[in-house]
Structure 1
Amino acid sequence: MTAVILATACAVVYGTADFFGGLATKRSQVLSVVALSQIAGLALILVLLPVLPGVLGGAALFWGLLAGLSGAAGLALFYRALATGVMSVVAPTTAATSAALPVLYGLATGERPHFWALAGVVLALGSILLISQDNSGGAGGSFGSVLVSLAAGAGFGGFFILLALAPSEAGLWPLVGARLSSVTVVALLALLTRRSLRPGPGSLHIIVAAGALDMAANVLFLLAQRQGLLSLVAVLVSLYPASTLLLARQVLGERLRAVQVAGVACALGAVTLIAVAQPG
């Protein structure tokens, strides 16, 4: 049950981070938002290290560095897919892939969730597809953009799997490695493309909030994964678009489509099924 609570909280925080990130990109260039938010997250994890200490070792940093590279690749591919495809295809394809990959990995490595937990997984994957629908035009998008979306989802799913491979006694050190590698990749990308990382007026505090919340969500994921099955934790975490949608409705007054409301309801049902299937 602890893993379910942590993973659900992680999804809420991830969704909130995305909401702030979305606000920031309306005022600053995307690369600036990504780079500065990553740096803010790195600062936060360095502050948290003494609070949740762990054993620093080569394995912790190794898996963390790989996770960071996988996550950074997923992010770059996701933006590439958005630039060449249709949002209503790219978003659900990426989200469902990022959730399904850890499930398949967990089952392949011997995880055996309870029947009702598996039913919750299926419902969660369906809810992701519903929640991620938007009002973008177009009937489908190119085959190439779908392939890039699948690759982006694999990058995000790989981030979860690689973090789970780090030793449990490592504490937060895997996240330090992950953030160091992702910051390096983004900085090199900025240099190669000669893009300015200067934030737009009035956006720095929003970017910092997005980065801090994203790292807080990473911490919650790491703690949840160590308490429960990766195949369940990763799916619950992947429900984060629901909280982004609800925040957009409450703060910005955006209206939810009927299909998205159904997706949120399915997400709540999925959490309930997975929760009741867990031992007390």
Structure 2
Amino acid sequence: MVYGTADFLGGLATRRSRVLAVVVLSQIAGFALILLLMPLLPGLFSSSALLWGMAAGVAGAAGLTLFYRALATGVMSVVAPTTAVTSTVLPVVFGLATGERPEILAVVGIVLAVVAVIMVGRSPSQGQRSSAASVLAALAAGAGFGGFFILLAQAPEGTGLWPLVGARITSITAVVLLALVTRGSLRPGKGALGIIAAAGALDMAANVLYLLAEQQGMLSLVAVLVSLYPASTLVLARFVLGERLQGVQVAGVACALGAVALIAVA
């Protein structure tokens, strides 16, 4: 839910500022939050945790860049669900390959969750078709996001938030370098700075919650629940902005709730 709220605010911010400005400034806001939370959620410093986090940050930054690239060259109704499903499936496959064995109800919940992600990601395509390049970029973006979840989960237990510190250092560095190379403006639009800061803080809060959840549960289940975040974005868009939802998207939200219930019961 927190990831979805952060994305909603990020979407509002991009209506007033350039995308790179939103990404860089929100990443910095999230880094400030993690520094404030360090004393509250202490952990032992570990170079291994920092390195795993840095690797996760590279994967996440690459996924974000490729995702925006795919959106710029393809059709959102194809790009969004392709990216989301890939980012959902990879942690599940990794978890099963490393010995995780969810209960049968949880497996049904996983399947229902994948269906939900596809459904909530649908939007009118107006007869357009995505190019093969945009589909490949969407698949690669999903792999980047899935890799973020997998790599972050490899950090040793007891290291607190150090993996997220490493992740944010590399992601900020990567995005700032991209802005410098492309000469993109990092100045926020009028009235957008507060929204950007809130989006970044919530995104980091969601990362913290994911890390805590992963430490207590199966990656194959936690990552699936996290990947349902587009449902909360849709609900906020409906009630805050008055956007109309398609019937398939409403059904997708219902599937998402059913998936959460099945996994929770299992």
Q: Report the Cα distance in structure 2 between the residues aligned to 1:185 and 1:137, rounded to whole angstroms.
A: 35
SS in 1 for 2:93: helix
* Match of residue 103 from structure 2: 114
Residue 132 (structure 2) pairs with residue 143 (structure 1)? yes
Residue 171 (structure 2) pairs with residue 165 (structure 1)? no
Tell me if the contact between 1:63 and 1:166 (Cα under 8 Å) persists in the aligned partners: yes
Residue 19 (structure 2) pairs with residue 30 (structure 1)? yes
Tell me if the contact between 1:120 and 1:269 (Cα under 8 Å) persists in the aligned partners: yes
Unaligned runs of 5+ residues in structure 1 are: 1-11
CA-CA distance at 1:138 after TM superposition: 3.2
Tell me if the contact between 1:116 and 1:273 (Cα under 8 Å) persists in the aligned partners: yes
* Match of residue 64 from structure 2: 75
For residues 143-173 of structure 1, the C-alpha deviation after alignment (integer angstroms, 9 at most, x for no partner) is: 1111110000000000000000001111000
Q: Report the Cα distance in structure 2 between the residues aligned to 1:242 and 1:37, rounded to whole angstroms.
A: 22
Residue 82 (structure 2) pairs with residue 103 (structure 1)? no
* Match of residue 212 from structure 1: 201
Q: Report the Cα distance in structure 1 between the residues aligned to 2:19 and 2:183, rounded to whole angstroms.
A: 14
Residue 156 (structure 2) pairs with residue 181 (structure 1)? no
CA-CA distance at 1:139 after TM superposition: 4.6
* Match of residue 44 from structure 2: 55
* TM value normalised by structure 1: 0.94
SS in 2 for 1:261: helix
Q: Report the Cα distance in structure 2 between the residues aligned to 1:152 and 1:138, rounded to whole angstroms.
A: 24
Q: Report the Cα distance in structure 2 between the residues aligned to 1:138 and 1:55, rounded to whole angstroms.
A: 54
- Size of the aligned set, in residue pairs, is 266
SS in 2 for 1:98: helix
Tell me if the contact between 1:85 and 1:142 (Cα under 8 Å) persists in the aligned partners: yes
Which one of the candidate residues 226, 232, 240 is aligned to 1:243?
232
CA-CA distance at 1:136 after TM superposition: 2.9
* TM value normalised by structure 2: 0.99
* Match of residue 134 from structure 1: 123
For residues 7-46 of structure 1, the C-alpha deviation after alignment (integer angstroms, 9 at most, x for no partner) is: xxxxx00000000000000000000000000000000000
Q: Report the Cα distance in structure 2 between the residues aligned to 1:16 and 1:138, rounded to whole angstroms.
A: 30
Percent identity over the alignment is 72
Q: Report the Cα distance in structure 2 between the residues aligned to 1:186 and 1:76, rounded to whole angstroms.
A: 8
SS in 2 for 1:138: coil
CA-CA distance at 1:135 after TM superposition: 1.8
Q: Report the Cα distance in structure 2 between the residues aligned to 1:212 and 1:161, rounded to whole angstroms.
A: 22
Tell me if the contact between 1:86 and 1:138 (Cα under 8 Å) persists in the aligned partners: no
Give the letter aligned to residue 24 of structure 2. A
For residues 90-148 of structure 1, the C-alpha deviation after alignment (integer angstroms, 9 at most, x for no partner) is: 00000000000000000000000000000000000000000000123235311111111
Q: Report the Cα distance in structure 1 between the residues aligned to 2:39 and 2:87, rounded to whole angstroms.
A: 31
* Match of residue 257 from structure 1: 246
